[in-house]
Amino acid sequence: MRTVYMDSNATTRVADEVLEDMLPYFCEYYGNPSSMHTFGGQVASKLDEARGRVAALLGALPEEIIFTSCGTESDNSAIMGTLGSYPHKRHIVTTRVEHPAVLSLCKHLAGEGYSVTQLSVDRDGNLDLAELRESLTEDTAIVSIMHANNETGVIFPIEEIGRIVKSRGIVFHTDAVQTAGKIPIDMSGSTVDLLSISGHKFHAPKGVGALYIRKGTKFHSFLIGGHQERGRRGGTESVPMIIGMGKAAELAAEFLEDENVRVRGLRDKLESELLEKAPSAELNGDRERRTPNTTNISFQYVEGEAILLLIDREGICASSGSACTAGSLEPSHVLRAMGLPFTAAHGTVRFSLSRYNTEDEVDYVIEKVPPIIRRLREISPFGREELSKGS
Amino acid sequence: MWDYSDKLKDHFFNPRNVGEMPDADGVGEVGSMACGDSLRIYFKLDENGRIKDAKFLTFGCGSAIASASVLTEMIKGKTLEEVEKVTNQDIVDYLGGMPVEKLHCSVMGREALEAAIADYRGGKPKAEEGKIVCNCFGVTDREIERVARENNLRSVEDVTHYTKAGGGCGSCHAEIERILARVWGEKEAGLVREKAKKLTNIQRMKLIEETMEREIRPALRADGGDIELVDIYGTKVIVALRGTCTHCPSAEFTLKEYVEKKLREQVDEEIVLEEVKI
């Protein structure tokens, strides 16, 4: 059966060039980059190259990058590393729509005696910067606000946010897992102190991430061990993964224009056709301020898991913020924070594309999805009058 | 992905008896859009009082659609007296099992059926009376009690899987515990108290620890607080408050009126609570 993969915000395929670069570092050049011998040393220079490539993607200096095991570790390191540096400060500011890597950690910290402010978002998923301004206190240790949301793709104005946060002398962290390789990121002259990225969201393998730490930012090691990563992250470097991430970063920079022109065009076509052809479909999230690859659509009066199961039978991979897919009983925290009505919240589907998607695939999804939605609407007790009226 | 049985998949991909029935003899509806699933069942009787035809409409996930589909198949040809004996477990069995998180779909099927029969008999749809326990999903104490009895449910988690109650904000977990204690516990709880007098030190410590973990900590955590068991000397229990409890003005009240009371109820009437700040 044909597979049409449109779940790239969950993970992406590893680029062939990335795998090719990684392979020699399993069986051939397996030395430890910390070793004194030439055999290990040659691996260290390859690590430097990867660090340089990731730094280039972010407009950062190589020494400002530490490699981690994943986006979650980067987020945890950023927050815990900052709290460790300011032990007398006990307040954290974040948003209601963060990834669990930040949100669950903040909830955990709240139980440890920290106070946590979660900023709200409006119906389009945007923040109110006045609320941010008011939330900052003398006791605030860190502000952690994502660059773009994983479910809706909505981009937060991190430079504006950073200016507000920095004017109070507070550390600013952003989770850029969903934006690295999708929209330009430039840390030179930025107001961001710490920035998390994850390799597998831009065609590197799973199991590698990075944290940007602005030069001069106080940082306490989260993973305590050896001297690796200049003492900021213990543990022998995952050499092949890091090399893969370096290559993926280099490719991402090359494909940034493709992502913002061609992939955006595919996403826009998919979105507008689905909104037009499927009954009672609505877009979630700010239409303009979004990553170019993501669309989150509510198919009203039907349920997300049922949609996913039916499109899965056609080989289409997407995901849903519906309660039933997550094994929880409530729709996603992001959609709830946006105040989506229940008619819409349970029937959301996120399609997230990558540079590997083709127009032919988009056409296939446009052909397959609307009849499936109509079929589920036939079964649904809700919205039947609207259905018979037309569409 | 969920591990759905072939039978369930078949009924989801090819649901039987979908649609409206304008001339139905009985119609029953349960659930709501807010809850994330809803089911409407229709039936029509023949001259002998047997179900001639049944139809359904549902808003829900794969297992909700499959549950409704098999239910309509199961009741065809049966009298209402026979249909009344159909339990949610029958639906689950017919489907060859379903993931535990989805069991509430089968309960919904049974409830819609009951409502449809009540509708036919002219009574008000037998809405589950009682007090709403779970505000997130609008589940009453009566409903929890009944489903717990019928399915031999012993934990809050089980109740959530079958009724959804407690699956949202979680603030009703303590209340569900109390209902379960009422359903099962009257006898068992009595026994526990009886035995309490003869508890050995080890048994008492274990029971204290268990009660703290199962009931007291979840209740405090729901308000952002927490409590730590520091030490136990005989019937003296030493605890330290954590989280928001540490600077809560009513912390002392919570300790005396809730924590100590609970431990006295469940473990030993002699228990004295002492707080330390560490």
Q: CA A213, CA A54: separation in Å to the nearest integer? A: 13
**Whether A381 and B40 lie within 8 Å, measured CB to CB:** yes
Higher-confidence position of B224 and A206: A206
Residues A184 and A43 in one domain: yes
pLDDT at B163: 86
Q: CA A78, CA A66: separation in Å to the nearest integer? A: 11
- CB of A258 less than 8 A from some CB of B: no
Of the residues A206, A229, A252, the one at which a domain ends: A252
- CB of A163 less than 8 A from some CB of B: no
Q: For chain B, what percentages of helix, strand and coil (3-state, to nearest 5) are there?
A: 50, 20, 30
pLDDT at B64: 92
Q: CA B228, CA B213: separation in Å to the nearest integer? A: 10
Q: Which A residues, 112 through 131, put their C-beta within 8 Å of a C-beta on chain B? A: 112-113
Contact A295, A351 (CB under 8 A): yes
Per-residue pLDDT tens over the stretch B25-52: 999 998 877 777 899 999 999 999 999 9
Contact B97, B76 (CB under 8 A): no
- CB of A310 less than 8 A from some CB of B: yes
In this predicted structure, which of A20-29, A214-223, A283-292, B146-155 has the lowest mean pLDDT? B146-155
Mean pLDDT of A1-9: 95
Q: Which residue of A has its CA nearest to B61?
A: A306
In this predicted structure, which of A150-164, A224-238, A332-346 has the lowest mean pLDDT? A332-346
Q: CA A301, CA A345: separation in Å to the nearest integer? A: 9
**Which letter does DSSP use for residue A141 in this model?**
E
Which region, left, alpha or beta, applies to residue A50 given φ > 0 means left and ψ of -120 to 50 means alpha?
A: alpha
Residues A49 and A104 in one domain: yes
In this predicted structure, which of A143-152, A231-240, B88-97, B187-196 has the lowest mean pLDDT? B187-196
Report the 10 Å Cβ neighbour count for B44: 15
Q: Residue A324: pLDDT band by 50, 70, 90 thresholds? A: low
B38 contacts in A (CB within 8 Å)? 381-382
pLDDT at B193: 47
pLDDT at B261: 85
pLDDT at A176: 98
CA A146 and chain centroid, separation = 8
- CB of A218 less than 8 A from some CB of B: no
Residues A78 and A220 in one domain: yes
pLDDT at A17: 98
Which region, left, alpha or beta, applies to residue B138 given φ > 0 means left and ψ of -120 to 50 means alpha?
A: left
Catalytic annotation on B35?
yes
pLDDT at A352 over 80: yes
Contact A218, A86 (CB under 8 A): yes
pLDDT at A328: 62
Residues A264 and A366 in one domain: yes
Q: Residue B218: pLDDT band by 50, 70, 90 thresholds? A: confident
The set of residues, in sequence order, having a beta carbon less than 8 Å from that of B258 and lying 6+ positions away, is: B216, B219
Give me the amino acid identity at A259.
Answer: E
Report the 10 Å Cβ neighbour count for A337: 19
Per-residue pLDDT tens over the stretch A74-83: 999 999 999 9
In this predicted structure, which of A15-29, A145-159, B132-146, B235-249 has the lowest mean pLDDT? B235-249
Q: Are strands B37-45 and B51-59 parallel, antiparallel or unpaired?
A: antiparallel
**Which letter does DSSP use for residue B34 in this model?**
T
Contact A61, A75 (CB under 8 A): no
User: What number of residues does chain A have?
Assistant: 391
pLDDT at B188: 55
Higher-confidence position of B162 and A92: A92
Of the residues A218, A252, A286, the one at which a domain ends: A252
pLDDT at B123: 65
Rounded percentage of chain A residues whose pLDDT exceeds 70: 97
Catalytic annotation on B105?
yes
pLDDT at A388 over 80: no
- CB of A381 less than 8 A from some CB of B: yes
Residues A337 and A205 in one domain: no
Q: Tokens for B53?
A: 């035809």
Rg (CA), chain A: 22
Residues A67 and A189 in one domain: yes
Mean pLDDT of A337-348: 87
pLDDT at A327: 58
CATH of B132-192 among 2.40.30.10, 1.10.10.1100, 1.20.120.10, 1.10.1740.10: 1.10.10.1100
**Whether A346 and B33 lie within 8 Å, measured CB to CB:** yes
Give me the amino acid identity at B248.
Answer: C
pLDDT at B197: 55
φ/ψ of residue B41, rounded to 5: -120, 135
Give me the amino acid identity at B243.
Answer: G
Torsion from C-alpha of A82, A85, A91, A94, nearest 10 degrees: -10
* DSSP-derived 3-state class of residue A92: strand
For chain B, the domains span: 6-120, 132-192, 197-275
Residues A219 and A95 in one domain: yes
- CB of A301 less than 8 A from some CB of B: yes
Residues A73 and A216 in one domain: yes
Rg (CA), chain B: 23
Give the residue ranges of DSSP H helices in chain B: 6-13, 62-75, 80-83, 88-94, 103-120, 141-151, 156-163, 173-180, 186-196, 201-211, 217-221, 251-253, 261-266
| Helices first, then strands: H and E counts in chain B | 13, 8
Mutation site, A104, A308, A309, interface B, largest B CB count within 10 A: A309
pLDDT at A178 over 70: yes
Of the residues A252, A269, A300, the one at which a domain ends: A252
pLDDT at A380: 93
Q: Residue A219: pLDDT band by 50, 70, 90 thresholds? A: very high
Per-residue pLDDT tens over the stretch B184-198: 876 555 444 444 456
What is the count of structural domains for chain A?
Answer: 2
- Quote the domain boundaries for residue A144: 16-252
pLDDT at A314: 97
pLDDT at B249: 67
The set of residues, in sequence order, having a beta carbon less than 8 Å from that of A380 and lying 6+ positions away, is: A301, A302, B57, B58, B59
Q: CA B109, CA B30: separation in Å to the nearest integer? A: 8
Q: Are strands A171-175 and A194-198 parallel, antiparallel or unpaired?
A: parallel
For chain B, list residues whose CB is within 8 angstroms of any CB belonging to chain A: 12-13, 15, 18-20, 29, 32-34, 36-40, 57-62, 64-65, 101-102, 136-137, 160, 164, 167-168, 221, 224, 226, 242-243, 246
Q: What is the CATH number of the domain that holds A301?
A: 3.90.1150.10
Torsion from C-alpha of A202, A204, A210, A212, nearest 10 degrees: -40
For chains A and B, what is the number of CB pairs under 8 angstroms?
A: 88
B36 contacts in A (CB within 8 Å)? 303, 322-324, 329-331, 342, 346
Residues A60 and A156 in one domain: yes
Q: Tokens for B271?
A: 């228990």
Q: Closest approach of chain A CAs to the CA of B187, in angstroms?
A: 33
CATH superfamily of B197-275: Fe-S cluster assembly (FSCA) (3.30.300.130)
The set of residues, in sequence order, having a beta carbon less than 8 Å from that of B130 and lying 6+ positions away, is: B140, B141, B142, B143
Residues A45 and A82 in one domain: yes
Residues A207 and A333 in one domain: no
In this predicted structure, which of A186-190, A307-311, A340-344 has the lowest mean pLDDT? A340-344
Contact A238, A69 (CB under 8 A): yes
Closest partner residue to B59 among A112, A327, A380, by Cβ?
A: A380
pLDDT at A342: 79
pLDDT at B195: 45
pLDDT at B102: 86
In this predicted structure, which of A210-224, A330-344, A348-362, B69-83 has the lowest mean pLDDT? A330-344
Q: CA A175, CA A144: separation in Å to the nearest integer? A: 7
In this predicted structure, which of A62-66, A280-284, B134-138 has the lowest mean pLDDT? B134-138
In this predicted structure, which of A108-117, A178-187, A357-366, B263-272 has the lowest mean pLDDT? B263-272
User: What number of residues does chain B have?
Assistant: 278
Residues A69 and A167 in one domain: yes
Mutation site, B18, B33, B226, B228, interface A, largest A CB count within 10 A: B33
> What topology does CATH give the domain B6-120?
Sufe protein. Chain: A (3.90.1010)
The set of residues, in sequence order, having a beta carbon less than 8 Å from that of A125 and lying 6+ positions away, is: A97, A149, A152, A154, A284, A285, A286, A334, A338
